[in-house]
Chains A and B, each alone.
Chain A
Amino acid sequence: MPVLLAIGTSKGLFLATSDDRGGWQVSGAQFPMNAIYSVALDTRRPTPRLLAGFASSHWGPTFATSDDLGRSWREPQQPPIAFPADTGASLQAVWQIAPAGADEPEVVYAGTQPSALFRSDDGGVHYELIRPLWDHPHRPEWGEGFGGQAIHTVLPHPDDPGRVLVAMSAGGVYRTEDAGVSWQASNTGIRAPFLPDELPEFGQCVHKVARDPVAPDRLYAQNHHGVYRSDDDGRNWTSIAAGLPSDFGFAMVAHPRRSGTIWNFPLEADISRFPPDRRCRVYRSGDAGSSWEALSQGLPAGDFYPAVLRDAMCADDADPAGVYFGTRSGTVYGSRDEGESWSLIAAHLPDVLCVRAAEV
């Protein structure tokens, strides 16, 4: 079955296709000069739907969908995602697109900058602001990272439509158990080393959270220094950083089917955002973060400086799982054997902001 790899860059969307995940045909750039902050492949539908959030530095942000694998796109005349007038806010970018569980095939969530969560009930075409999170009393105290204040992670619970987890940099993790009516900060155990109180209720700089595919109450988080696991749907977090060369990084990816298998791409430190030892290595755990192994076969052997951003690493849904990452220097690597070996898919692209892949 062919695999489609969507590569969102700072200057457009590139699509790579492959029948064997060995040779790739790369096309693009679509939406040239637009930063593609988020892309999703919604395979719950009979016809897979691509969804992309893109932003022009001149013409602002917007959102489009494609039902023909990216050959054509639909952007509604009325704004797909917009803040109500009384909020006084305006959309800066869509950082995350998250299709809900299989039993809600028309529900799609969007995490935005400024930090807000939107919900679509028409398959991701139009969205409405989830007001209780916007009105949360903590919101005035949420900070922002270098990239801005955004909800960059949205994880609907696959077994319970009422439960959704979101995360933001310098705000932390928030959860709802009542379909968005109420939201609780959920950062117990996550450190904030950049604050005087290192264990605040909220304000942590969570970079990415991934959900275990088999045990959905198990979550994995890459933090701004700190790598954590939760076994109770985010109520409590414990460190799983031992065995990694650094606890800093952005990406965290879970296996599509196997419990406990995760990948990340460590960087040395917040003040030294280079790969440890200047070596290009993906780290994988097969035991939910109790131990880690470095994976580098096929990756550049010499000095390597580029970083991998929070959404610039993903897995596909094939068997064995494919794993992909793109760098800020515009290079994309892929593995069709769960990280054992890697090959180059694309080079010399604009800096990669996000990648998503699926069988189509």
Chain B
Amino acid sequence: MVIVLLPGVLRGEAEGRSRLEVAATGTLGSVLDEVGQRWPRLARRIRDEQGELRRYVNVYVDGEDCRQLAGLATPVGAGAQVQVLPSIAGG
């Protein structure tokens, strides 16, 4: 099982939860695929319809920015923690 942590602004798309438990492991992409199956509206806040991470969404795997790792191919094992955060972009 993998834990997915959500920022406050996205919790409304997951019945108010800040912490999701996801069965999928393997890669970050497979974890987010399961999120997409169970919470489609939440998932499209994180990835576009082609599956790409949105530009100003940051995803950390056990505290490491996935863009500094292997992106959606970043390995995610059982017990890992995936955290979604908005970047500091904006005006």
Interface residues of A (CB under 8 A from B): 33, 56-60, 62, 75-79, 82-83, 85, 88-91
Report yes or no: B49 in contact with A91, Cβ–Cβ below 8 A.
yes
Report yes or no: A90 in contact with B90, Cβ–Cβ below 8 A.
no
Chain A residues lying within 8 Å of B46, measured Cβ to Cβ, are 59
Residue of B with least CB distance to A84: B49
Report yes or no: A75 in contact with B54, Cβ–Cβ below 8 A.
no
Interface residues on chain B, size class: 10 to 19
Residue of A with least CB distance to B50: A90
Report yes or no: B45 in contact with A82, Cβ–Cβ below 8 A.
no
Q: Which of B48, B57, B87 has the most CB of A within 10 A?
A: B48
User: A60 vs B41: C-alpha distance in the bound complex, in angstroms?
Assistant: 11
User: A88 vs B52: C-alpha distance in the bound complex, in angstroms?
Assistant: 11
With A58-B56, A77-B41 known as contacts, the answer to whether A90 contacts B48 (CB < 8 A) is yes
Closest Cβ of chain A: how far from B40's Cβ, in Å?
A: 4
Q: Please tell me which one of the listed residues B40, B49, B52, B54 contacts residue A59 in the complex, with CB atoms under 8 A apart.
A: B54
Task: Mark out the residues of chain B between 35 and 66 whose CB falls within 8 Å of any chain A CB in the assembled complex.
Answer: 40-41, 44-46, 48-50, 52, 54, 56-57
User: A244 vs B9: C-alpha distance in the bound complex, in angstroms?
Assistant: 47
User: What are 5 A-B contacts defined by CB distance under 8 Å?
Assistant: A58-B45, A58-B56, A59-B9, A60-B48, A82-B49
Report yes or no: A59 in contact with B57, Cβ–Cβ below 8 A.
yes
Residue of B with least CB distance to A87: B50
User: A62 vs B48: C-alpha distance in the bound complex, in angstroms?
Assistant: 10
Report yes or no: A78 in contact with B57, Cβ–Cβ below 8 A.
no
Q: A59-B54, A90-B50 are in contact. List 8 more A-B contacts (CB 8 A).
A: A33-B90, A57-B89, A59-B45, A60-B48, A62-B41, A77-B40, A83-B49, A85-B50
Q: Which of A33, A56, A78 has the most CB of B within 10 A?
A: A56
Report yes or no: B87 in contact with A58, Cβ–Cβ below 8 A.
yes
Q: 6 closest Cβ contacts across the A-B interface?
A: A90-B48, A59-B45, A82-B49, A77-B40, A58-B86, A58-B56
